[in-house]
Amino acid sequence: MKLVFLGTSAAQPTPERGMTCICLVLDKEILMFDAGEGAQVAFQKAKLGWNKQMRIFVTHLHGDHCVGILGLLQTMSLQSRTESVDIFGPPGIDEFLAANLKILNFGLTFPVRIIRIKEGLVLDDSGYTIHVCEAEHSIPAYAYLFTEKDRPGRFYPEKAKNLGVPEGKLWHELQSGKEVKVQDKIIKPSDVMGDKRKGRKIGISGDTRPTKKLEDFFNGCDYITFDSTYSDTLKDKAIETGHSTAKEAAELAKRACVSNLILTHFSARYDNAEELVKEAKTVHDSVIPAKDLLEIDIK
Ligand SMILES: [Zn+2]
């Protein structure tokens, strides 16, 4: 599992940074959070695969977070994609996409399903869930939480062999949590497997002020990516425009016991994120500045 940053700038692009787009790449699927203009350009550079199973989650309907879906769908069609794409977003996402797909006469080569989100659980997949929480921005905006389901512990074939369990059906039963009987001896899954592996939690803030509600929502996350549009010297501007400063992001992450904070969505006024990282590090020990095409392995 890895996070891949395709765009890390706020509101307008810079020569080094594209518009907001973050991918959580799983074994068999890509979860994309927001797609600002040019998302397909970075998607191509990151070599994520045009026909991989994919879901897109939009935090809010500002152009720098959703206009890129159009180009992405267009390029995917030109690449002869056949896999369907599910797009989750706030009310209005359906009208935005329907109108554009009709006017631009896309000729999609694959099905697109649009799902309106509201607070709470929006997706319960076999390996993970996605929850949504209201953020605080200049228009209705939402944050997302990816929670991986706990996975069974590692299976040790040598232990099973030593206990006389023959390979095949009985191994599968042990792996799926059932006890098995071998020559009148009961073998428990814990005899041949390691501890249950706890699921990982990753939060995506979108554009927002830091709120108590988001602090609770992101509690205990392994990683969060958080709106860090401004440095603390421009806190007034952050309040006025419904964004956060890097320091505020760090304070929220600290209070929420988040292990690793990723700063992103930087104002184009910053040539680099040095100043923002510095102020966030006065509050939180693990601060990572996002940059375009950065990949972070989620351990
Ligand atoms: Zn916005």
The domain limits of the chain are 2-151+198-297, 157-192
Q: How many angstroms separate the alpha carbon of residue 62 from the centre of ligand 1?
A: 5
β partners of residue 224:
203, 261
64 among known catalytic residues: yes
Q: Along the 299 residues of the chain, how does pLDDT read in single tens digits?
A: 999 999 999 989 999 999 999 999 999 999 999 999 999 999 999 999 999 999 999 999 999 999 999 999 999 999 999 999 999 999 999 999 999 988 988 889 999 999 999 999 999 999 999 999 999 999 999 999 999 999 888 999 999 999 999 999 999 999 988 999 998 899 999 999 999 889 999 999 999 999 999 999 999 999 999 999 999 999 999 999 999 999 999 999 999 999 999 999 999 999 889 999 999 999 999 999 999 999 999 98
Q: Which two tokens stand for residue 218?
A: 């992101």
Strand runs labelled E in the chain: 2-7, 21-25, 29-33, 53-57, 85-89, 112-116, 120-124, 128-134, 142-148, 180-182, 185-187, 201-204, 223-227, 260-264, 287-289, 295-297
Q: How many angstroms separate the alpha carbon of residue 60 from the centre of ligand 1?
A: 7
Output DSSP code: residue 233: G
Read off the pLDDT of residues 17-31 as tens digits, 9 standing for 90 and up.
999 999 999 999 999
Enter the CATH code of domain 2-151+198-297: 3.60.15.10
Q: How many angstroms separate the alpha carbon of residue 11 from the centre of ligand 1?
A: 7
Check 34, 64, 207, 227 and give the catalytic one.
64
Read off the pLDDT of residues 102-129 as tens digits, 9 standing for 90 and up.
898 888 999 999 999 999 999 999 999 9
Q: How many angstroms separate the alpha carbon of residue 166 from the centre of ligand 1?
A: 58
